[in-house]
Amino acid sequence: MNFDICFNFDFRDLSNEDIIEIFDEIKDINSVDDQGDTLLLWACKEYNLQLIEYALCRGGDTNYLNECGETPVQEVINIAEDREEIALAILQKLIDAGANLEVRGFMKKTAFLKACSRNSKKVIELLVRNGADVKVTVEEDGKLLDGCFYADIFGETPEIRRYIGRLVNS
């Protein structure tokens, strides 16, 4: 079910309790707003742990891919560097709830490939501990692009580039 609201705009002044009350009346927790996001995806963008837990308890789709090519896991990875500890907690909750780390999102990247360009060794370690494929590649113009490629072009720290190199070449 899609509805004519924008979580980011329409929910910005509402409390979590108000949002939960609204969604308690909506049968499909995976309803999509006019920006193409589910409540779970939007809550991940906002680092809103209470709404993430609510959406997961109601059966929120951890593998939903929005129109921008992002899943809840990939959205958290996008901004994990800014609030790493809460991002790690959210990622683990999503993984525990069944998130598939191999879903291909924007530019055909998996969670691991996206994390290789986001400057958080802890996020990469969490993904690896939870079974992310470190050998994954994206084919572009006949070339195979791996985690090292993404770490290099996004200017990751030397420590992270070395760590990714060890993973990819192991």
Nearest to 117 by CA among 161, 54, 170: 161
Q: What is the pTM of this model?
A: 0.92
Nearest to 28 by CA among 16, 17, 40: 40
Give the pLDDT confidence score for residue 156 in this predicted structure: 82
CA distance 75 to 68: 10
Going from the C-alpha of 130 to that of each of 48, 85, 141, 166, the distances in angstroms are: 22, 17, 31, 17
Instruction: State yes or no: pLDDT of 12 exceeds 90.
Output: no
**DSSP-derived secondary structure for 41-87:** HHHHHTT-HHHHHHHHHTT--TT---TTS--HHHHHHHTTTTTHHHH
Report the share of the chain in percent with pLDDT over 70: 98
Token pair belonging to 123: 């996020």
- Average pLDDT over every residue of 47-64: 97
- Average pLDDT over every residue of 70-78: 96
